[in-house]
Chains A and B, each alone.
Chain A
């Protein structure tokens, strides 16, 4: 069986570092795979481009920032939740915004949880730790359904469309 990976999609390296520091405390950090924008995240999920050779299975959890270059977190979420093979992967939005329209959009596209990054460090650490513990240890994801064969085109087609806009 594959290692239970966590995919962290976060463009801000400082947030990455802080998030990893928080997950480190739970010994989860070594299982985190980080990509820095939505496009790379989709490449990873669909095993294409730089991730064509990915041998590990699909993540058991996706931690998703919203405001990112190229493809936003919300767009990644939409693609995942519309794809039968990816929609069962739990996605937790981990963002700076607590604006109501963002929350409504994420939830209406099927996000599994929405966590606002607290400014206070200890609050931040606590929040990320709890997310890690719950989703990586407590929660039981449907692993068998998470595998995706390489070379799937539909995700890429949608991204190409987005780029043109």
Chain B
């Protein structure tokens, strides 16, 4: 259309060119016409352009719609395919369902067959009843066989009409229960079969639904044989029970016999004449007679003559039925010993209660009695020890008071005696004769000697009373100390000291010192006459429990015949003029050593010398208390 208007426009313009000269007059008009047509042409051109654009737009819209239509077509095709697939699947499932249904029907047919087989082969009787009429619709061969009635005499009848079941506990009751609970069970129902056999059955009925109809199945189990077995079993049990109690009884008696045999007590049975009927092992042991020796003989030989009267009296009591418990008496054994026994006697009675014998249980209490006596003796001893101890303490106190008085009161006069003699000597010495002076000297000496005696006696008394406080005492240190202390007594003398290594003793140091001072100073004193004195101190080897120490000298010695007198108080083997001394020193030595639990002794010979030995127990097992 645009091309068409363009061609006409071009033609108009060439027309204008050709007619310009001639038609100048009409030019104005023409120009105006041309302008008008030009404007119209322009308007049409614009309209054409507008339509062209509209046409374009419509074309585009048509194209878009076309595309959409194509898309929808594709979608529709896809859905169609899917629908086809689903249809195929549904067809497959339908086929499968049909196959399964066939199988299921097959199974039902099979199940029915199986049931029928079970029904036919069952070892229980089965009745199937119509639940509405109560009539038998079916009976299995087992029940037919059990009851002995042909099938046709059973089918079509009610249970009550069947002669074997006519006694079944209340057919009516069973029917009601079945209606109510759908279940009924009767145990131990007696039945009679056609041939007159009495049997026992269990009768179980169930209501069940077979399709639209209700039916009742009755199971009838023959319990006759089982009941019979049970009865036989019960009889056996009863029999076993009887046997067992008999066995128990027997075992009891065996056990009892074993107890009797193993008892520590003598258990003796005897008849009323005193003749032994049983005699256990302990009886053999206690009395010395064997069972063979005693059975059938009288017991009297066991009873000392002075106890026979008592035995007769006691037996009389037992014969009256009394029991005698634990009376102590005396019996003779086979080897003639008298033993203390404790006896219990019981009557042996027969079923009627008559006393037919005596059982006797006897226990040997000889040792018990001895122990009792010992205990009594011990108590007595303890009492007397306590009394003695008290007395001893009293005596000790008195002795202490006495010693104190002696110490003070006896010494004072002596001191005065000595003192005033000395003052007399000072005062009148020059005027006195030799004789008088000697008298004065003798008085003084005697008084001094008495003073020494008193001191020694007091010391002796103190060692008896003082406690012994033990500790380790090293003799290697103690002896040189003592020798040094004695140096005043040995000045001007030649003494050859031989001192061996010595042990450590477990002793009271102060008391042991007294012992050693006494013994060593004795040696010093009794070697006084020797130009060459030898004093040797050493240990004696051996002795697991004690240490022995010796002090040997080559002094005046002593006559061994009197060795026993050496350690007595105031006992002296030398005269005062030969050797000074109070006769208390060695008594004190012995007392101290004894209080240590040790011993002291001496060996010697006149003019050869003396050796004194003393022992002190070692620490372990030492006797701590004093004597």
Contacts and interface: CB of A to CB of B under 8 A. Distances in A.
Nearest to B451: A119
Interface string B262-280: 0000000000000000000
B416 interface: yes
Interface string B413-427: 011101111110000
Nearest to A101: B404
A114 to B, nearest CB: 14
Nearest to A119: B451
26 contacts: A12-B412, A12-B416, A15-B415, A18-B415, A18-B419, A18-B420, A18-B423, A96-B407, A96-B408, A96-B415, A97-B404, A97-B408, A99-B407, A117-B411, A117-B415, A118-B415, A119-B414, A119-B415, A119-B451, A121-B418, A121-B419, A121-B421, A121-B422, A121-B423, A122-B422, A124-B415
Interface of A: 12, 14-15, 18, 21, 66-67, 95-99, 117-122, 124
B216 interface: no
A14 B423 CA distance: 12
Nearest to A67: B408
B510 to A, nearest CB: 11
B73 to A, nearest CB: 144
Name which of B415, B419, B451 has the most chain A CB atoms within 10 A of its CB: B419
A118 B412 CA distance: 9
Contacts of A18: 415-416, 419-420, 423
Contacts of B423: 18, 21, 121
Interface of B: 403-404, 407-409, 411-412, 414-416, 418-423, 444, 447-448, 451
A30 B408 CA distance: 28
Given A119-B447, A119-B448, A120-B448, A14 B419 contact: yes
Contacts of B420: 14, 18
The DSSP consensus for interface residues of chain B is: helix
A96 B412 contact: yes
A97 B409 CA distance: 9
A6 to B, nearest CB: 19
A79 to B, nearest CB: 22
A14 B417 CA distance: 10
A14 to B, nearest CB: 4
Contacts of A15: 412, 415-416
Contacts of A96: 407-409, 411-412, 415
B451 A99 contact: no
Nearest to B404: A99
Given A18-B415, A96-B409, A119-B411, 7 more contacts: A66-B408, A97-B404, A117-B412, A120-B418, A120-B451, A121-B415, A124-B415
Closest 10 CB pairs of A and B: A119-B451, A121-B422, A14-B416, A96-B408, A18-B419, A121-B419, A121-B418, A96-B411, A119-B415, A97-B408
Contacts of B408: 66-67, 95-97
A126 B510 CA distance: 28
Nearest to B426: A21
Contacts of B444: 121
Contacts of A118: 415
Given A119-B448, A119-B451, A97 B407 contact: yes
Nearest to A18: B419
Nearest to B455: A119
A98 B408 CA distance: 9
A122 B425 CA distance: 12
A14 B416 CA distance: 6
A143 B558 CA distance: 63
Name which of B403, B407, B409, B444 has the most chain A CB atoms within 10 A of its CB: B407
A124 B417 CA distance: 12
A26 B98 CA distance: 164
B326 to A, nearest CB: 61
A67 B414 CA distance: 17
Nearest to B447: A119
Name which of B408, B444, B451 has the most chain A CB atoms within 10 A of its CB: B408
A55 B447 CA distance: 43
Contacts of B407: 96-99
A99 B412 CA distance: 15
A11 to B, nearest CB: 10
Nearest to A22: B419
Contacts of B451: 119-120
